[in-house]
């Protein structure tokens, strides 16, 4: 049996208000369209995929996808209406196709189970669509909107109302006849065309998570879902989520005759921090935070104080070296948050320069770096002005 999947991606998604068609918007590090294609390509039941795109994007997408997916993927120009785009794609499916599966590019979270149920439904009945039952009481409105309100005409039976999803699947011969009889009438999905042509369409169980992204709120929700799913992925011996969090801490005594260097900024003060390198507690804490998030060791292992080459070393340079390890592990810095604990001096006049130095070393915008100064209210060695400490938190994201 040969199954050809058509992805309807020829629209502009104007309701989303983005600067490009919504199918090309990023969700969790991948374009929405790429996620939908990958979901179908992963299914053992799907043999080929044909994608209908806005005509101006066909060439660039075709080049970008060369060799990217495990199944043959053909790109065609869409039409003015959804059914025109689907018809253009249908004209390119293999002649020996038994079942045609149609899916919206804007439903990137479709599961293998929903795909399989829809294909099986088409094989058994000729036409089948994924759908979910409504959970709320359904009211039918009467007449036009008046002063922001409708009048209720009737309460509909909830057990008879379903919300249509994609994929929608059809035996090839039935689908060919449906498209041929469509004429000029618009339809919001392929099942509607089949119904008009007199073909019974069967419902199979959809999935509430198989949402269609239409509005900006939908997009924000989809991004959150994508991050949650990525965090649950398991790779190798442990979790390898797209987001990783690390913490860092450092403390040094204050000593006479040493410069006070924080985040690469030399701060006028009668005392400096004592240590093997320049004792920059901010860079040291941030270094440990990013290395910890990437599970790439710590500053002591990378730059041990038993090695003379690091004596008096510039800690901003050490931080850049740690960033090379983070990058090699497949991550980049999303943001860092730093708290410096010192009784004196006041750090406020120097914070912007400190932020700029950290941002440059971490290869992020200055807005991704936060530095705060706190006192220790006269408590312990920090409060007595004998030492300074620093806490840092770093958020990394996968580069893939």
Number of C-beta neighbours around residue 222 at 10 A = 22
Q: What domains are defined for the chain?
A: 3-133+159-232 (3.90.550.10), 242-398 (3.30.1330.50)
Is it the case that residue 187 has pLDDT exceeding 90? no
Is it the case that residue 222 has pLDDT exceeding 80? yes
> Which pLDDT score is estimated for 239?
47
Question: Sign of torsion, CA 374 379 382 386?
Answer: positive
CB 110 within 8 A of CB 103: yes
Choice among 211-215, 304-308, 380-384 with the minimum mean pLDDT: 304-308
Q: What's the CA gap between 325 and 68, in Å, rounded?
A: 28
> Which pLDDT score is estimated for 238?
45
Q: What's the CA gap between 7 and 391, in Å, rounded?
A: 49
Of 221 and 320, the one with more pLDDT: 320
What does the pLDDT look like over 17-27, one tens digit per residue?
677 888 988 88
Choice among 16-20, 101-105, 241-245, 297-301 with the minimum mean pLDDT: 16-20
Instruction: Tell me the percentage of the chain whose pLDDT exceeds 90.
Output: 70
- Quick one: which H or E segment has residue 53? strand 48-53
Report, as an integer, the average pLDDT of 219-233.
70
pTM > 0.75: no
Q: What are phi and psi of 380, to 5 degrees?
A: 55, -165
Helices (H), 329-368: 351-362
| pLDDT band (50, 70, 90) for residue 227 | low
DSSP 140-161: EEEEEEETTEEEEEEEEPGGG-
Residue partners of 363: CB distance under 8 A and separation at least 6: 323, 332, 333
Report, as an integer, the average pLDDT of 93-100.
96
| pLDDT band (50, 70, 90) for residue 13 | low
Q: What's the CA gap between 339 and 282, in Å, rounded?
A: 8
Pair of tokens at residue 340 = 């410096």
Q: What is the residue whose two structure tokens read 């408590």?
A: 379
Of 193 and 144, the one with more pLDDT: 193
Q: What's the CA gap between 91 and 74, in Å, rounded?
A: 11
Pair of tokens at residue 267 = 């701060």
Report, as an integer, the average pLDDT of 292-298.
90
Closest CA to 345 of 267, 282, 274: 267
Report, as an integer, the average pLDDT of 191-212.
94
Calculate the CA 147 to chain-centre distance. 40
> Which pLDDT score is estimated for 241?
59
| CA within 13 Å, CB half, 93 | 30
Is it the case that residue 400 has pLDDT exceeding 70? no
Is it the case that residue 144 has pLDDT exceeding 70? yes
| pLDDT band (50, 70, 90) for residue 232 | low
Of 13 and 233, the one with more pLDDT: 13
Choice among 229-243, 287-301, 337-351, 359-373 with the minimum mean pLDDT: 229-243
Q: What's the CA gap between 322 and 303, in Å, rounded?
A: 9
Number of C-beta neighbours around residue 94 at 10 A = 14
> Which pLDDT score is estimated for 237?
40
Closest CA to 100 of 173, 23, 183: 173
> Which pLDDT score is estimated for 309?
81
Report, as an integer, the average pLDDT of 273-278.
92
| pLDDT band (50, 70, 90) for residue 230 | low
Report, as an integer, the average pLDDT of 285-289.
96
Choice among 117-121, 125-129, 198-202, 223-227 with the minimum mean pLDDT: 223-227
């Amino acid at each position: 049996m040969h199954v050809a999947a058509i992805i309807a991606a020829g629209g502009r998604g104007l309701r989303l208000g983005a600067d490009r068609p919504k199918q090309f918007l990023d969700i969790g590090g991948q374009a929405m369209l790429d996620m939908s294609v990958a979901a179908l390509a992963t299914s053992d039941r799907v043999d080929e995929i044909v994608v209908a795109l806005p005509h101006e994007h066909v060439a660039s997408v075709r080049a970008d996808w060369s060799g990217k997916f495990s199944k043959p993927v053909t790109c065609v120009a869409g039409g003015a209406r959804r059914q025109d785009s689907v018809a253009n794609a249908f004209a390119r499916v293999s002649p020996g196709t038994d079942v045609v599966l149609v899916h919206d590019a804007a439903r990137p979270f479709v599961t293998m189970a929903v795909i399989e149920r829809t294909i099986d439904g088409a094989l058994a009945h000729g036409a089948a669509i994924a759908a979910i039952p409504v959970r709320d009481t359904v009211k039918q409105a009467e007449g036009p909107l008046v002063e922001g309100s409708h009048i209720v005409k009737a309460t509909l039976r909830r057990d008879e109302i379903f919300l249509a999803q994609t994929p929608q699947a059809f035996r090839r011969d039935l689908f060919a006849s449906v498209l041929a009889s469509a004429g000029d009438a618009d339809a919001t999905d392929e099942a509607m065309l089949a119904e008009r042509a007199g073909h019974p369409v069967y419902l199979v169980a959809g999935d509430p998570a198989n949402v269609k992204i239409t509005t900006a709120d939908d997009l924000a929700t989809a991004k959150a879902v994508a991050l949650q799913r990525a965090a649950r992925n398991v790779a190798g011996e442990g979790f390898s989520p797209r987001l990783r969090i690390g913490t860092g801490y450092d403390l040094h005594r204050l000593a006479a005759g040493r410069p006070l260097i924080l985040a690469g900024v030399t701060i006028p003060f009668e005392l400096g921090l004592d240590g093997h390198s320049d004792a920059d507690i901010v860079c040291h804490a941030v270094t440990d935070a990013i290395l910890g998030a990437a599970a790439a060791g710590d500053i002591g292992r990378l730059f041990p104080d038993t090695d003379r080459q690091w004596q008096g070393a510039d800690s901003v340079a050490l931080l850049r070296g740690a960033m090379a390890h983070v990058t090699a592990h497949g991550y980049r810095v999303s943001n860092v948050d730093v708290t410096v604990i010192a009784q004196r001096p006041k750090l406020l006049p120097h914070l912007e320069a400190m932020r700029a130095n950290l941002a440059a070393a971490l290869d992020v915008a200055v807005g991704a770096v936060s530095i705060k100064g706190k006192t220790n209210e006269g408590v312990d060695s920090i409060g007595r002005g004998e030492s300074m400490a620093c806490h840092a938190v770093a958020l990394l994201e996968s580069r893939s």
